[in-house]
Chain A
Amino acid sequence: MLEPFKEYLQKKVAITDEQFDLISHKLKVKTFSKNEMILMKGDFSTQGFFVLSGLLRSYSIDAKGKTHIIQFAPEQWWLSERNGHFNEPSDFFIDAIESTQAILMPKDFINEAAEIVPCMNPLNSTMLNNAIRFMQKRINMLLSATAEERYLDFIKLYPNLTLRVPQWMIASYLGITPESLSRVRKDLAHKHFHP
Chain B
Amino acid sequence: MKTTTKPVAAVLKAPAPHMVGDGFRVHNFFPGGYKINMSPFYLLDYNAKIDFSARNEPRGVGVHPHRGFETVTIAYHGAVAHHDSAGNSGVIYPGDVQWMTAASGILHKEYHEEAYSKSGGPFQMVQLWVNLPSQYKMTKPKYQALKHDEINRVEIPDHGGQIEVIAGNYQGVKGSASTFTPIHVYNARLHAGAKASFNFPATYNTGFVVIEGKIRINQTETALTNQFIHFSSEGEEIEIEALESSVVLILSGEPIDEPITAYGPFLMNTPEEIQQAISDYNQGKFGFLED
> Do A192 and B284 touch across chains, with their CB atoms under 8 A apart?
yes
Are the CB atoms of A159 and B284 closer together than 8 Å? no
- Nearest residue (CB) in B for A183 is B288
B291 / chain A contacts, CB cutoff of 8 Å: 167, 182
Q: B84 to chain A: closest CB distance in Å?
A: 11
Chain B CB within 8 A of A160 CB: yes
B69 at the interface (CB under 8 A from A): no
Partner of B288, one of A159, A160, A185: A185
A164 to B265, CA, bound (A): 11
- A186 at interface, CB cutoff 8 A: yes
Residues of A within 8 A of B265 (CB): 163
A149 to chain B, nearest CB (A): 14
B282 touches A159 (CB 8 A): yes
Cβ contact within 8 Å between B283 and A160: no
Q: Is the CB of B283 within 8 A of A159?
A: no
CB distance from B246 to the nearest CB of A (A): 37
Q: How many residues of B contact A (CB 8 A)?
A: 22
Given contacts A160-B264, A163-B264, contact A193 B278 (CB under 8 A): no
**Does B203 sit within 8 A of A, measured CB to CB?**
no
| Interfacial residues of chain B within 256-291, with CB under 8 A of chain A in the complex | 263-265, 275, 278-279, 281-288, 290-291
Which residue of chain A has the shortest Cβ distance to B140 in the bound complex? A195
Chain B residue contacts of A191, Cβ below 8 A: 284
B50 contacts across to A, CB distance below 8 A:
none
- B282 and A189: CB pair below 8 A? no
Query: Is A162 within 8 A of B284, CB to CB?
Result: no
Q: Does A13 contact B (CB under 8 A)?
A: no
Q: Which residues of the partner chain A approach B173 to less than 8 Å between Cβ atoms? A: none
Report B168 CB to chain A, min CB distance, Å.
Answer: 29
User: Cβ of B282 and Cβ of A182 under 8 Å apart?
Assistant: no
- Assuming the contacts A160-B264, A163-B265, asked whether A193 and B282 have C-beta atoms less than 8 A apart, the reply is no
- Please state if A189 and B281 are interface contacts (CB–CB under 8 Å): no
Assembled-state Cα–Cα distance A186/B62 (Å): 16
Q: How far is the CA of A182 from the CA of B63 in the complex (A)?
A: 12
If the complex has contacts A160-B264, A182-B291, are A155 and B285 also in contact, measured as CB distance less than 8 A?
A: no
| A188: interface (CB < 8 Å) | yes
Choose among A160, A164, A187, A193 the residue with the greatest number of B CB atoms under 10 Å from its CB.
Answer: A193
Q: In the bound complex, how far is the Cα of B104 from the Cα of A195, in angstroms?
A: 10
Q: Whole-angstrom distance between the alpha carbons of A188 and B85 in the complex?
A: 14
- Count of residues in A whose CB is under 8 Å from the partner chain: 20
- Are A182 and B290 within 8 A (Cβ)? yes
A163 and B281 contacting across the interface, CB-CB below 8 Å: yes
Say yes or no for B9: interface residue by CB 8 A criterion. Answer: no
Query: Chain A nearest CB: distance from B277 CB in Å?
Result: 10
Chain A residues with CB under 8 Å of B281's CB are: 162-163
Could you tell me the distance in whole angstroms from the C-beta of A19 to the nearest C-beta in chain B? 32
Q: Does B86 contact A (CB under 8 A)?
A: yes
**8 Å CB interface, A130-175 against B:** 155, 159-160, 162-164, 166-167
When distances are taken between beta carbons in the complex, the residues of chain A under 8 Å from B264 are 160, 163-164
Contacts of B287 in A (CB 8 A): 189, 193, 195
Q: A155 to B275, alpha carbons, bound, how many Å?
A: 12
Of residues 53 through 101 on chain B, the ones whose CB sits less than 8 Å from some CB of chain A are: 62, 64-65, 85-86
> Which residues of B are found within 8 Å of A189, using beta-carbon distances?
85, 284-288
CB distance from B4 to the nearest CB of A (A): 45
CA distance A192 to B284 in the complex (A): 6
Are B290 and A193 touching (Cβ within 8 A)? no
- Please give, as numbers and ranges, the residues of chain B lying within 8 Å of A190 by CB-CB distance: 284, 288
Nearest residue (CB) in A for B285 is A192
Closest chain B residue to A158 by CB distance? Answer: B282
Q: How far is the CA of A186 from the CA of B281 in the complex (A)?
A: 12
Chain A interface (Cβ < 8 Å from any Cβ of B) = 155, 159-160, 162-164, 166-167, 182, 185-195
- Contacts beyond the supplied A186-B284, A189-B284, A191-B284: 17 A-B pairs with Cβ under 8 Å: A159-B275, A159-B279, A160-B264, A162-B282, A163-B65, A163-B264, A163-B265, A163-B278, A164-B264, A182-B291, A185-B284, A189-B285, A189-B287, A192-B284, A193-B288, A195-B86, A195-B287
Q: Which of B's residues lie within 8 Å of A, judged by CB? A: 62, 64-65, 85-86, 140, 263-265, 275, 278-279, 281-288, 290-291
Can you pick out 10 interface pairs between chain A and chain B where the beta carbons lie within 8 Å of each other?
Answer: A155-B279, A182-B290, A186-B288, A189-B285, A189-B287, A189-B288, A190-B288, A193-B288, A194-B285, A195-B140
